[in-house]
Amino acid sequence: MSEFDLMRKVVMIGAGGSGKTAIVNRFLTNKFSDKYIVTIGSQFAVKVVEVTDSTGNPLKVKLLVWDLAGQERFDFIRSSYYKGSKGALLVFDVTRKSTFKELPKWIEETESALNQRIPIILIANKVDLVEDRVITEDMGRQFVEAHNLMGYLETSALTGENVHEAFKMLAKATLS
């Protein structure tokens, strides 16, 4: 028996500093580092998640997670990393309005690089920073509806809240 049933390449997209790398690290190691290291180009990670298909059968999906650099200075190189992607986690920081305002740009870049729409799940990160929050859950949900995205989750890379659920939701979204 194989250790996985399907393999899916997925991308982590969103503004620099929104927490993409911290989310991937939490997903892989269940640990958090507060050291901010700029992703240059992309980083790559692999992990198997278990989901159920539309008929309720269990499936092991091997996710090839590409964590793409969010800084503007890497715009020129990023499009090559999208090739073959079957889904995306679009991450913004609930404490920084600028990361939310950039979201449409990321959707457009993804569609342009792939010449199609792939399942995109919006991830509101850093929800543990309650006092600093400037983007509400309602704003996130309205954005998902307005842009016809596959789902919405509020996460915290610091506490681990909903991090594994985000990748499971994405894996399931790539099945259709």
For each of the chain's 176 residues, which pLDDT tens digit applies? 469 999 999 999 999 889 998 999 899 887 766 664 544 445 668 899 999 998 999 999 999 999 876 656 555 566 778 899 999 999 999 999 999 999 999 999 999 999 999 999 999 999 999 999 999 999 999 999 999 999 999 999 999 999 999 999 999 999 97
pLDDT score at 70: 61
pLDDT score at 75: 57
Q: What is the 3-state secondary structure (H, E, C) of the chain?
A: CCCCCEEEEEEEECCCCCCHHHHHHHHHHCCCCCCCCCCCCEEEEEEEEEEECCCCCEEEEEEEEEEECCCHHHHHHHHHHHCCCCEEEEEEECCCHHHHHCHHHHHHHHHHHHCCCCCEEEEEECCCCHHHCCCCHHHHHHHHHHCCCCEEEECCCCCCCCHHHHHHHHHHHCCC
Does any domain span residue 114?
yes
The parent domain of residue 60 ranges over 6-173
pTM above 0.85, yes or no: yes
Does any domain span residue 55?
yes
pLDDT score at 163: 97
Of 123, 31, 34, whose CA–CA distance to 70 is shortest?
A: 123
Q: Could you tell me the CATH number of the domain that includes residue 87?
A: 3.40.50.300
Does any domain span residue 1?
no
Phi, psi of 120 (to 5 degrees): -125, 130
pLDDT score at 35: 62
Does any domain span residue 61?
yes
CA pair distance 117, 3, nearest whole angstrom: 29
Number of domains in the chain: 1
pLDDT score at 79: 74
Does any domain span residue 33?
yes
Does any domain span residue 63?
yes
